[in-house]
């Protein structure tokens, strides 16, 4: 929240009070207060405005407006100005409110311990809710930062149920643009990295490759200079680059003279033609939010396929571009989808051989929906869970209020006897609740600020718009609303009881009034049941997450994680042709193997868990089970060195691994994974089958023979199985940029510098990027489930503590209330263990009912968690049993204490005090 | 009403503060050091009693500083009389609040 927000908040308080001021003077009154606040705030130095002391002072001063407004009203009412007359005959709502408020504050001051417990309990609940809501508000609710963001969509190709959300190839992009009628325009972009050689060591920087119309579709204007345009897509266009505002200020100090100069990217000179505005980012599930350099897609992407000059000439089977499309005004997603269905059909008619499989289509998603689709279920579950925590807090507070209402019963009875009407008493009690609730809200806001920092640190890197998460007016409104609703929730029961106070009972010496009688006991019992039930739902949720997380960590990834150092050495096409790259890699691998401590070393084009992907349509020559039109589909393709599988310790299932003998020029070979075999040759021997993905110069498929079958490797994360995989010797493909992986004895990170030196010995301008142990990649891959786990467990722990305190409170109170009865029983010969048993029975009975209700609720509610769970059913019996036992144990312990206290009562002393 | 008005120490402080040039609500608050909650009620009372008048600051001045114009308070002749009375009654009032430097 910036200091403008604080001023806005102060002004809002004034606005809140304004209706109290007579209409004739209202606007003047409001202007005066706003001007005073504005001036007072704006002459403070920024340092003060940033401090909590002064923010609190600002709000305090704004709160004076409320008092002033109330005063205004009473002054005008009085026949003459000057003396505030409180007329009891015609009760003014405002006066009554003020009086109630004053009374509420007096009650709080009289019993600060009670108020503190209530405010802290509520503060924790509201704070946690505010924090989680801030995340939801930013990630799920805030519109995307583009012009008319609702018209922005993402377009994907659909390659059947196996691959419903695939990227787009060059010719597909051209045809989509040409055939559609519902989009203003469609653009494509690809996230990438590039070696930036400035002064000093070469670094790998995140880049975005865009089609010439990309920035028009997003409607971004340059900060200075120009952006990538349609002309940059033309054959022979000079290579140009646009810098992000952040990169420009960070590297060049924001010097505008950088325009027209050139930067060296992957060894090639690019002219800097413009700077994109600060904060611009592409919000796409596969794009990093930070991109430093933007270049034109076609020359870069084209060079990958041998310098194709137009999109239409690129390979139709090479999907890599992400589609961004802006709807024409007034067109709905459904209309666009219908239009794209027709486009897909037209494409199929034009290329019947390529789109011969069933399920071909084009899919349109709202850009925002697509972005938040993955984060949404977890966030909503967390929001639900944190809402439960607040409910439990409410129940606890309601319990406290009820217990206190019992104490105040006589006071209330006296007031009623003296003529106060019962509605008035109820209003009075509600005012107290709302005051406490708002105080809890303020504390909650402070807690939320702290909690948010922790949340943002804990949140997985791929949580969309993570950096933007914060408190804004929307969040403040939410907190205010939650505080008020909370006050109603915990305040209604006591207020209701206040209205029903039974005068005769309350005045009786030792009498048991409304709140301590049978009815009050039932109500408190119901609260305990609710509390246990709510806690059970949360504990089950947390338990399921823990079980799921365990499974996740134990899952067979297809490789051994420990002791691996990995890094990316992105040789660029601009500087290395495939044969030279082979030489480079062979030398690097050989020299790395010679380093002390290195046990094995290998390389792969796309390392698992590295956010690097590559796939393409791959064909199998023959299959007993697949029909001819099912023999080509999208497969994850990897190019690896001999020794890669050994390094990763990936189990070989059949056949052999690659050796140094699998080189260019000899017979072409491939290793596929088990999933591939399961799909293509479930009933045949895969060894000796043939697979292809490219053609030779004469247009004949270059078949590659399957020599081995490897265990499937978890690539995207640990819970997704992903596509079938095919591995080729890198010397038999056209790949230059690869990851190096080395298995090391001892600390893997210690070797990173030595390997990087080897790279620079070969090529001093070659950057080494993304150095990480495999262990840390796994940690990052499980960041999202861990985030859910930590939060849910924390909420469940709070719920358990609150529930324990609640049970203990209710049972203690009931023991105190039943002291007389217990005394009589003991006088009549009950033994102390009988008393313990009696109290325990009451406590455990309530807990048992709560468990029953909670189990039913959890059964229904945890369904929504199923998508977050890995290899654990939402109705996992182990979790339910363990949670039930925990709650029962805690419930018994919480009742045992008061029970034993009851058993120690001296019959005589109890009976004589009454 | 003005004549019968209770002349409290707080009232005297407010009158004195305005007289020496603290003519805005918050300035009176800051200059007098009175508890926050007492200044505005006093201003309202004094204004209602005719001891103060309030005016809007010149738009141009505010425009120049890019802020909304403020409402400023002045003593009426009756207010001046009251201030004389207050100074007589509460010694040290003039010492407590002295003219602000640069205040008009």
In contact, A400 and A394? CB cutoff 8 Å:
no
* A469-480: burial string, b at 16+ Cβ within 10 Å, e else: bbbbeebbebbb
Give the pLDDT mean for A372-397: 89
Cβ–Cβ below 8 Å for B25 and A67: no
ipTM: 0.90
Residue contact B71–A40, C-beta within 8 A: no
A101 has a chain B CB within 8 A of its CB: no
Question: Is B1 within 8 Å of A39 when comparing Cβ atoms?
Answer: no
Model confidence at A594: pLDDT above 50: yes
Q: Is A34 on the interface with B (CB under 8 A)?
A: yes
In order of A95, A196, A451, A589, A692, the CA distances from A755 in angstroms are 78, 20, 41, 10, 34
CA atoms within a 13 Å half-sphere pointing along the CA-CB vector of A701: 13
Q: What is the mean pLDDT of residues A73-83?
A: 48
**Residue extents of the structural domains in chain A:** 1-85, 113-142+374-516, 161-356, 528-548+783-913, 571-766
The pLDDT tens digits of the residues spanning A600-647 come to 999 999 999 998 888 888 899 999 999 888 888 889 999 999 999 999
Write out pLDDT tens, residues A28-53.
Answer: 888 889 888 988 888 888 888 888 88
- Going by pLDDT thresholds of 50, 70 and 90, the confidence category of residue A73 is low
Question: How many percent of chain A have pLDDT more than 90?
Answer: 40
Q: Does A71 touch chain B (CB under 8 A)?
A: yes
Q: Report in angstroms the alpha-carbon separations of A336 from A224, A339, A340.
A: 34, 5, 6
Give start and end residues of each alpha helix (H) in A743-831: 752-762, 774-781, 783-817, 819-827
Query: What does each C-alpha distance from A194 to A198, A206, A311, A374 come to in angstroms?
Result: 12, 7, 21, 28
- The whole-number pLDDT of residue A405 equals 75
For residue B29, give the chain A residue with the closest CA: A61
Enumerate the residues of chain A whose CB falls inside 8 A of the CB of residue B102: none
Q: What is the domain class of B7-89 according to CATH?
A: mainly alpha
CB-based contact B45 A75, cutoff 8 Å? yes
- pLDDT tens digits, one per residue of B35-93: 777 888 888 888 888 899 988 888 787 788 778 888 889 999 999 998 988 888 887 78
Please name the member of A42, A75, A81 whose beta carbon is closest to the beta carbon of B67.
A42
DSSP A166: B
Kindly report, residue by residue over A504-536, the tens digit of the pLDDT.
Answer: 666 554 444 445 555 666 778 888 899 899 999
Res. A408: pLDDT tops 60 = yes
Nearest to A38 among B4, B5, B67 (CB): B67
Torsion of CA A824, A829, A833, A837, to 10 degrees: -50
Q: What is the reported pLDDT for A91? A: 55
Distance from CA of A82 to the nearest CA of B (A): 6
Q: For position A539, what pLDDT does the model report?
A: 93
**Helix A52-77 vs helix A3-17: angle between axes, to the nearest 10 degrees?**
10
Residue A888's pLDDT band (boundaries 50, 70, 90)? very high
Chain A hits for B25, CB-CB cut-off 8 Å, are: 32, 36
Tell me the pairing of strands A725-729 and A632-640: parallel
Checking if the pLDDT of A728 tops 50, the result is: yes
Min mean pLDDT across A514-523, A569-578, A732-741 is at A514-523
Cβ contacts (< 8 Å) between B26 and chain A: which residues? 36-37, 39-40, 61
Does residue B45 or residue A670 have the better pLDDT?
A: A670
In this prediction, residue A291 carries a pLDDT of 94
Q: Answer whether residue A670 shows pLDDT above 80.
A: yes
Average model confidence (pLDDT) across chain A: 86
**pLDDT value, residue B2:** 42
Reduce the DSSP state of residue A723 to 3 states and report it: coil
Distance CA A843, CA A856 (A): 20
Domain ranges for chain B, please list them.
7-89
CA B23/CA B10 separation, integer angstroms: 16
- Evaluate the CA torsion angle A850, A851, A856, A859 in order and state its sign: positive
Which of B25, B40, B45 is opposite residue A82, by nearest beta carbon?
B45
Residue A427's pLDDT is 81
> How is residue A350 written in tokens?
């034009």
pLDDT digits (tens, 9 = 90+) for A265-287: 877 889 999 999 998 999 998 88
Cα A536 to Cα A633, A894, B67, distances in angstroms? 46, 16, 56
**Residue whose entry in the numeric block shows the structure tokens 């960041």:** A783
Nearest-CB residue to A75 (from B4, B48, B67): B48
pLDDT the model gives residue B102:
47
Residues 6 or more apart in contact with residue A361 via CB below 8 angstroms: A157, A158, A340, A341, A344
Q: Distance between CA atoms of A440 and A113, rounded to whole angstroms?
A: 14
What is the DSSP code string of A103-121? HHHHHHHH-HHHHHHHHHH
Answer whether A64 touches B (CB < 8 Å): yes
Q: Which of B1, B62, B68 sits opposite A80 (nearest CB)?
A: B1
Per-residue pLDDT tens digits for A106-138: 877 777 888 888 899 999 999 999 999 999 999
Answer yes or no: is pLDDT of A89 > 60.
no
pLDDT bracket for residue A592 (50, 70, 90): very high
Of A35, A42, A82, the CB nearest to B69: A35
Query: Which chain B positions have a beta carbon within 8 Å of A61's beta carbon?
Result: 26, 36
**Residue A741 near residue A648 (C-beta atoms within 8 A):** yes
Chain A CB contacts of B45 below 8 Å: 75, 81-82
Q: Note the pLDDT of residue A502.
A: 63
Query: Which residue has better confidence, B59 or A454?
Result: A454
**B40 to chain A: closest CA residue:** A68
* B4 vs A contacts (CB less than 8 Å): 82
**The pLDDT of residue A489:** 82
Reported confidence tier of residue A77, pLDDT bands at 50, 70, 90: low
b/e string for A649-675 if b means 16 or more Cβ within 10 A?
bbeebbbebbeeebeeeeebbbbbbbb
The separation between CA A907 and the C-alpha centre of its own chain, rounded to angstroms, equals 58
CB-CB contact of A506 with A472 (8 Å): no
> Distance between CA A873 and CA A865 in Å, rounded?
9
Q: What percent of chain A has pLDDT over 70?
A: 93
Q: What is the mean pLDDT of residues A765-781?
A: 89
Taking CA–CA distances from A34, the nearest residue in chain B reads: B68
Question: Is A38 in the B-facing interface, judged by CB distances under 8 Å?
Answer: yes
> CA A740, CA A738: separation in Å to the nearest integer?
7
- The reply to whether A25 touches chain B by the CB within 8 Å rule is no
Instruction: Please answer yes or no on whether B71 and A82 come within 8 Å at the CB atom.
Output: no
What pLDDT does residue A691 have?
94
Closest-CA residue of chain B to A58 = B26
pLDDT for A341 equals 94
Closest by CA to A744, choosing from A555, A567, A582, is: A567
Residue B104 pLDDT exceeds 50: no
Q: Which residues of A touch B40 (CB under 8 A)?
A: 64, 67-68, 71
Q: Could you tell me the CA-to-CA distances from A756 to A201, A611, A752 in Å, in that order?
A: 11, 21, 6
């Amino acid at each position: 929240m910036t200091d403008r927000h604080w001023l806005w908040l102060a002004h809002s308080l004034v606005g809140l009070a304004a209706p109290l001021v007579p209409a004739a003077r209202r606007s003047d009154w409001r202007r005066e207060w706003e001007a005073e606040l504005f001036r007072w705030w704006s002459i403070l130095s920024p340092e003060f405005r940033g401090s909590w002391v002064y923010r609190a002072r600002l709000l305090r001063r704004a709160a004076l407006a409320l008092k002033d407004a109330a005063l205004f009203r009473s002054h005008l009412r009085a026949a003459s100005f000057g003396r505030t007359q409180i007329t009891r005959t015609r009760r003014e709502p405002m006066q009554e409110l003020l009086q109630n408020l004053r009374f509420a504050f007096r009650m709080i001051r009289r019993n600060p311990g009670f108020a503190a417990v209530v405010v802290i309990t509520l503060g924790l609940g509201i704070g946690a809710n505010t924090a989680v809501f801030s995340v939801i508000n930013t990630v799920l609710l805030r519109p995307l930062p583009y012009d008319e963001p609702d018209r922005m969509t993402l377009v994907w190709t659909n390659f059947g149920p196996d691959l419903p959300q695939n990227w787009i190839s060059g010719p597909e992009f051209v045809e989509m643009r040409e055939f559609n009628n519902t989009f203003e325009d469609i653009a494509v972009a690809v996230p990438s990295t590039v070696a930036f050689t400035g002064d000093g060591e070469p670094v790998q920087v995140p880049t975005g490759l865009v089609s010439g119309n990309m920035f028009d579709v997003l409607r971004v204007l340059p900060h200075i200079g120009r952006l990538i345009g349609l002309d940059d897509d033309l054959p022979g266009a000079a290579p140009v680059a646009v810098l992000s505002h952040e990169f420009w200020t960070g590297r060049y100090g924001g010097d505008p003279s950088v325009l027209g100069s050139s930067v060296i990217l992957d060894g090639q000179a690019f002219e800097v033609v413009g700077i994109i505005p600060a904060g611009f980012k592409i919000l796409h599930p596969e794009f990093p939010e930070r991109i430093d350099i933007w270049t034109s897609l076609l020359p870069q992407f084209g060079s990958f396929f041998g310098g194709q000059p137009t999109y239409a000439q690129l390979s139709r089977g090479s999907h890599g571009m992400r589609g961004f499309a802006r709807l024409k005004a007034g067109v709905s997603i459904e209309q666009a989808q219908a239009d794209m269905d027709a486009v897909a059909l037209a494409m199929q008619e034009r290329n019947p051989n390529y789109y011969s499989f069933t399920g071909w289509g084009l899919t349109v998603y709202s850009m925002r929906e697509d972005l938040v689709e993955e984060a949404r279920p977890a966030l909503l579950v967390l929001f639900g869970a944190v809402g439960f925590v607040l409910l439990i807090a409410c129940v606890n507070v309601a319990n406290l209020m009820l217990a206190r209402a019992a104490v105040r019963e006589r006071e209330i009875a006296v007031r009623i006897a003296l003529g106060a009407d019962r509605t008035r008493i109820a209003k009075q009690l509600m005012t107290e609740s709302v005051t406490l609730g708002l105080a809890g809200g303020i504390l909650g806001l402070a807690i939320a600020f702290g909690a948010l920092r922790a949340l943002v640190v804990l949140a997985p890197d791929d949580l969309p718009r993570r950096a933007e998460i914060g408190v804004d007016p929307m969040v403040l409104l939410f907190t205010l609303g939650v505080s008020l609703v909370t006050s109603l929730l915990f305040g209604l029961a006591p207020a209701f009881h206040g209205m029903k106070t039974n005068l005769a009972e309350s005045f009786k010496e030792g009498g048991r009034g409304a709140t301590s009688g049978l009815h009050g006991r039932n109500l408190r019992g119901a609260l305990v049941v609710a509390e246990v039930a709510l806690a059970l739902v949360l504990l089950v949720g947390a338990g399921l997450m823990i079980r799921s997380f365990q499974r996740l960590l134990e899952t067979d990834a297809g490789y051994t994680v420990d002791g691996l150092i990995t890094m990316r050495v992105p040789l660029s096409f601009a500087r290395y042709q495939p044969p030279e790259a082979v030489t480079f890699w062979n030398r690097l691998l050989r020299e790395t193997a010679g380093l002390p401590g290195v046990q094995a070393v290998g390389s792969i084009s796309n390392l698992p868990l590295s956010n690097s992907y590559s796939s393409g349509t791959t064909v199998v020559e023959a299959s007993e089970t697949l029909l001819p039109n099912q023999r080509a589909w999208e497969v994850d393709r990897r190019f690896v060195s001999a020794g890669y599988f050994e390094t990763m310790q990936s189990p070989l299932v059949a056949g052999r691994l690659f050796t140094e003998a699998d080189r260019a020029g000899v017979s072409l070979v491939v290793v596929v994974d088990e999933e591939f075999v399961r799909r293509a040759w479930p009933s045949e021997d895969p060894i000796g089958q043939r697979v292809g993905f490219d053609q030779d110069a004469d247009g004949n498929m270059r078949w590659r023979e399957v020599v081995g079958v490897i265990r499937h490797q978890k690539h995207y994360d640990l819970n997704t199985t992903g596509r079938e995989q095919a591995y080729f010797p890198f010397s038999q493909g056209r790949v230059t940029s690869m990851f190096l992986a080395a298995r090391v004895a001892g600390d893997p990170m210690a070797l990173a510098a030595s390997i990087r030196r080897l790279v620079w010995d070969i090529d001093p301008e070659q950057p080494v990027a993304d150095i990480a142990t495999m262990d840390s990649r796994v940690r990052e891959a499980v960041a999202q489930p861990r985030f859910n786990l930590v939060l849910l467990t924390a909420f469940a722990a709070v719920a358990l503590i609150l529930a324990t305190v609640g049970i203990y409170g209710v049972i203690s109170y009931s023991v105190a209330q039943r002291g007389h009865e217990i005394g009589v029983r003991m006088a009549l010969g009950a033994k102390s263990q009988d008393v313990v048993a009696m109290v325990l029975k009451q406590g455990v009975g309530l807990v048992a009912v709560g468990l029953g209700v909670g189990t039913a609720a959890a059964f229904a509610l945890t369904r929504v968690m199923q998508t977050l769970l890995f290899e654990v059913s939402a109705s996992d019996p182990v979790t339910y049993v363990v949670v039930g036992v925990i709650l029962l144990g805690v419930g018994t312990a919480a009742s045992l204490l008061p029970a034993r206290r009851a058993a120690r009562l001296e019959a005589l002393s109890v009976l004589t005090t009454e | 009403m003005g004549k019968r008005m209770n002349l409290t120490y707080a009232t005297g402080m407010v009158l004195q503060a305005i007289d020496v040039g603290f003519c805005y609500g918050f300035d009176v608050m800051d200059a007098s050091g009175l508890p926050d909650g007492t200044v505005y009620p006093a201003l309202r009372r004094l204004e209602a009693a005719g001891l103060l008048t309030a005016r809007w600051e010149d738009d141009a001045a505010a425009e120049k500083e890019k802020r909304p114009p403020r409402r400023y308070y002045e003593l009426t002749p009756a207010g001046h009389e009251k201030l004389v009375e207050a100074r007589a009654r509460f010694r040290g009032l003039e010492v407590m609040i002295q003219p602000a430097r640069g205040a008009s």
